Amino acid sequence: MKAADLNLRDMLQFNPEQGRITFGADNRMVLVGAELMGSLVDGLIDVGDVTTARVLLRRCGKEAGHRLARLFKEEFNPENQQEWLAFGPTMHAWEGAGKPNLAAFEFDPATNHFLLEVHFENSYFADQYLATHGSATEPICWLLAGYIGGYCAEVFAMELLCREVSCKAQGNPYCTFVVKPRDAWL
């Protein structure tokens, strides 16, 4: 199946009798309000600090990205890496996380060169942060950065790291995420 054929209107099974929502074969999903995630981020900053929140959310996002990439591979058997990669942003858009647009992609396995840049409109993390705190002094979509990096790392079987280099919460029109090999950031 192609990423363009992903359609959560048909692929989510709502089963209120059992209190379950599932996607694909039997992958449990949960519908929660965007405010809950905003509260979670605020709570992490309150009980720890910004660094703790950043580290924890990036880690959770990374694991979720790896997991979702494996799920798409098993469920939909994408025909190549590009198609497998495309499931990630397509799912983000369907989930309501925001609208990722691919701005740049360079990949040369022979030289270990990898560069992916995503312009992410309507990040719900940025919107929640702006509504609660006003403008941020640094990019704050840590969960999304972890997720994008983890997803790409799983698809391309490389040590990749994603950083958000500018954020809507800082007053930019969209969030910009850049994925490169870990050592290329040093």
Q: Per-residue contact track with Zn ion, 64 to 103, x per CB under 5 A?
A: ----------------------------------------
126, 160, 161, 178: which one binds Zn ion (CB under 5 A): 126
Minimum CB–partner distance for residue 136 and Zn ion (Å): 8
Q: Quick one: 21 or 50, whose CB is closer to Zn ion?
A: 50
Please identify, among the stretches 3-11, 82-90, 97-105, 171-179, the one whose residues bind Zn ion according to the rule CB under 5 A. 171-179
Q: Quick one: 69 or 141, whose CB is closer to Zn ion?
A: 141
Q: Does 162 bind Zn ion (CB under 5 A)?
A: no
Nearest CA to 54 out of 116, 122, 125 is that of 125
Size of the site for Zn ion (CB under 5 A): 5
Q: Does 175 bind Zn ion (CB under 5 A)?
A: yes
Q: Does 145 bind Zn ion (CB under 5 A)?
A: no
In the complex, the residues that contact Zn ion under the rule CB under 5 A are 123, 126, 141, 167, 175
